[in-house]
Copies of this chain bind each other. A is one copy, B any other.
Amino acid sequence: SRNIRLAVIPGDGIGTEVVAEGLKVLEAVGTKIEQTHYDLGAARYHRTGETLPDAVLAELRGYDAILLGAIGDPSVPPGILERDLLLRLRFEFDHYVNLRPVKLFPGVETPLADTPAENIDMIVVREGTEGLYAGTGGTMRRGTPHEIATQESLNTAYGVERVVRYAFEKAKARPRKKLTLVHKTNVLTYAGDLWQRTVNRVAEEYPDVTTDYCHIDAASMFFVTQPERFDVVVTDNLFGDIITDLGAAIAGGIGLAASGNINPERITPSMFEPVHGSAPDIAGQGKADPTATILSVAMLLEHLGLHAEAAKVERAVADDIVERLAGWAGRSTHEIGDDITARVSG
């Protein structure tokens, strides 16, 4: 089989540490990869003022996939790296599906009392290119008592329908075949109406999928009190951001939450990254759990059609987690990476 051409953006903080372990596992799985590393992030921004030069963007377009660690540092004003680097990649590469599984691995502790692992097993399909993330809005009379600041949520039939279709396909392929739209249709009436009508219309093509609706406020409650309500969740960019962090929390923490920024038509490279951030407070100390990145590598393999390899990595993680239970706590970033790598190779 041909080599995978992979662009690697380790990024900031613990990003570099967890990506190193992800790559270790990727190599051990026996795929041929050509890696190119890109030093995008806070350091480059401070050195050159660049976030994502156009030439780099053009180059990135040529890869099969991107593996990203984490972006962001308190030394950079909020929004700069997020908007001009991370979100720009999602927008330019039209990653309209932000796929985030919320699954409690057997053996992992959840903060929820009396919740068996099988009750937390859903996939959140977060829209990745629209909504309030469009970045439109503005400020008038900044710094005066008469300041106004606006943000606009932009939603299109084109953008909503394609992600809703993707979610229906996911739901159809799962045993429970249930799709829940999460929105706030009673307040965001224009956008909510578009989302709800789209779900209703596409649902007609999927008679075997049960559809359901839940307001974002109620959904946040149900994630904690009845996570078993959810199978596949489809939602907009901002609600998806919130609910997948909440999902990570109930499924054992941000150290295990993987994600894929996906262009399903493969017109552009999809980008895989842990849901967690750069965690500057623990950076460089070997304390970060690389598991979320390793699971993101599994998603990357799956996306590239390497199903057996993806399953191997997932199984290695599941087995490693069972060992953790048996008293393997306190391992460093490297040690966890090495242990999972050994399982993949073995």
A143 adjacent to chain B (CB < 8 Å): yes
Are A192 and B224 in contact (CB-based, < 8 A)? no
> Contacts A143-B197, A147-B157 known; A221 to B254 CB distance under 8 Å?
yes
Instruction: State which of B135, B148, B185 has its C-beta within 8 Å of the C-beta of A78.
Output: B185
Q: Which of B157, B186, B191, B220 contacts A245 (CB 8 A)?
A: B220
Complex alpha-carbon distance, A112 and B224, angstroms: 8
Residue A216 is within 8 A (CB to CB) of chain B in the complex: yes
Digitize A164-198: 1 where CB-to-B-CB distance is under 8 Å, 0 elsewhere.
00000000000000000000111111111110110
- Expressed in whole angstroms, the Cα–Cα distance for A221 and B133 within the complex equals 20
> Which residues on the B side are within 8 Å of A151 (C-beta)?
152-153, 155, 188, 190-191
* Given A155-B149, A193-B139, A194-B147, A246-B245 contact (CB < 8 Å): no
Contacts of A311 in B (CB 8 A): none
Which of the candidate stretches A10-18, A28-36, A79-87 sits at the interface with the other chain?
A79-87
Bound CA span A218–B133, Å: 17
**What's the Cα separation between A218 and B186 when bound, in Å?**
25
Give the Cβ gap from A139 to chain B, nearest Cβ, in Å: 5
Residue A242 interfacial (CB < 8 Å)? yes
Bound-state CA distance A193–B135 (Å) is 13
Q: Give A116-157 as 1s and 0s: 1 = Cβ < 8 Å from B's Cβ atoms.
A: 000000000000000011010111010111111111111111
Residues of chain B with a CB closer than 8 A to A216's CB: 241-242
Interface residue? A253 (CB, 8 A): yes
CB of B156 within 8 A of CB of A147, answer yes
A contact residues, total (Cβ < 8 Å)? 67
Determine which of B72, B111, B113, B150 lies in contact with A190 in the assembled complex, contact meaning CB atoms within 8 Å. B150
Tell me the complex Cα distance, A184–B112, Å.
26
Q: Does A238 count as interface, using CB distance less than 8 angstroms?
A: yes
Instruction: Knowing A220-B245, A245-B218 are in contact, say whether A191-B156 is a contact too (CB < 8 A).
Output: no
- Does B153 contact A152, Cβ atoms closer than 8 Å? yes
Q: Is A250 engaged at the interface, CB distance under 8 Å to the other chain?
A: yes
Residue of B nearest to A71 (CB): B186
B241 adjacent to A190 (CB under 8 Å): no
Any B CB within 8 A of the CB of A163: no
A248 at the interface (CB under 8 A from B): yes
A225 at the interface (CB under 8 A from B): yes
A-B contact pairs, 19 of them (CB 8 A): A79-B186, A83-B186, A83-B189, A87-B187, A111-B113, A111-B225, A132-B153, A137-B153, A146-B156, A149-B190, A184-B241, A216-B242, A217-B245, A217-B246, A220-B243, A221-B245, A221-B246, A224-B249, A224-B250
10 other contacts beyond A139-B190, A146-B156, A224-B249, with CB at 8 A cut-off? A78-B189, A78-B196, A83-B187, A138-B190, A148-B154, A148-B156, A217-B246, A220-B246, A221-B245, A242-B242
Binding site for B on A (CB under 8 A): 72, 78-79, 82-83, 87, 110-114, 132-133, 135, 137-139, 141, 143-158, 161, 184-194, 196-197, 216-218, 220-221, 224-225, 238, 241-246, 248-250, 253-254
